[in-house]
Amino acid sequence: MIIRSALVEAVVFGVIAASAAPWQLVVGMLLVGFQLGNSGVMMAAIHDATPRHRFGLAMGLFAASSPLGFGAGPAIGTFMLD
């Protein structure tokens, strides 16, 4: 399920990147809601795979990964544009 969700996420971001008109961007952003339902499944998988004494660290890394990506992505993108 996580892999299928990642594939949907790739398609949705592809739609957003390829949008040439404002209404296409709106449709792409509305589709983002379909890919946001995977967090609960990923947290359950982390709970099942992580030793009890490392669960807090694993959840902290999971929670920090999205903001780090949102911050690092544009920073890396600026170097790629140059």
Does residue 3 sit in the same domain as residue 41?
A: yes
Contact, 58 vs 46, CB < 8 A?
Answer: yes
Does residue 35 sit in the same domain as residue 58?
A: no
Count up the domains in the chain and report the number: 2
Does residue 36 sit in the same domain as residue 5?
A: yes
pLDDT in tens, 5-26: 778 888 888 888 898 999 988 8
pTM above 0.75, yes or no: no
Structural domain for 71, as ranges: 52-82
Does residue 41 sit in the same domain as residue 68?
A: no
Does residue 61 sit in the same domain as residue 36?
A: no
Does residue 77 sit in the same domain as residue 39?
A: no
Does residue 28 sit in the same domain as residue 59?
A: no
